[in-house]
A = this chain, B = another copy of it.
Amino acid sequence: MKAPASAPAQGSTAEPQEPRWLTDEEQRVWRSFMEGVTLLDDHLDRQLQRDAGMPHVYYGLLVKLAEAPRRRLRMTELAMLAKITRSRLSHAVARLEKNGWVHREDCPDDKRGQFAVLTDEGLEVLRQTAPGHVEAVRQAVFDRLSPEQQKSLGEIMRIVAEGLQPAEAGADLPWLR
């Protein structure tokens, strides 16, 4: 299902083509990318763990909930918005519930369904910690990039994300994209 990048007739039967290795320049790009991501992720995780008592992903969940109508979302919807599996979300919400930042509610329309609801306490935590988090993001990223670079980064990562979007996602779910 992939066409050769260049000339030679590629066997159409099996996989074992000559690998399309990265050039030195591509290597450098890729390594910078992975290093940057690793360092950034760790940095933000530590910042939030210290100041908000939760990892970055969990913080992201609270943000999504805070932005949702009535501060609530179906589990599946939240999982898709946050780009995580439902399993991971189940565990995460269980933890956040224990903290009192979120609580679950049955869905009246669909007895299988669950809403995750952001509590007042959860909203308060967000209020208190958001400034510190934005500041961290700014210092690590936006303060260091020119407006053009910021724009590029957005375009580039949007392209990457689109390419990896699980095919099903949003296809039949009107509320997404």
Interface residues of A (CB under 8 A from B): 2, 19-22, 25-26, 28-30, 32-43, 60, 83-84, 130-131, 134-135, 137-142, 144-145, 149-161, 163-165
Contact = CB atoms under 8 A, between A and B. Distances in A.
Contact of A142 (B26, B39, B139): B26
Nearest to A16: B131
Oligomeric state, in number of copies? Answer: 2
Given A29-B157, A32-B154, A39-B164, 6 more contacts: A25-B150, A29-B154, A32-B161, A37-B157, A42-B83, A149-B159
B160 A36 contact: yes
Instruction: Give the interface SS of chain A, mostly helix, strand, loop or mixed.
Output: helix
Contact of A29 (B28, B29, B140, B150): B150
Nearest to A23: B142
Nearest to A154: B29
Contacts of A141: 30, 33, 160
Nearest to A138: B20
A39 B135 CA distance: 24
B149 A35 contact: no
A141 B30 CA distance: 9
A165 to B, nearest CB: 7
B137 A30 contact: yes
A150 B26 contact: yes
Contacts of A130: 19
A134 B156 CA distance: 19
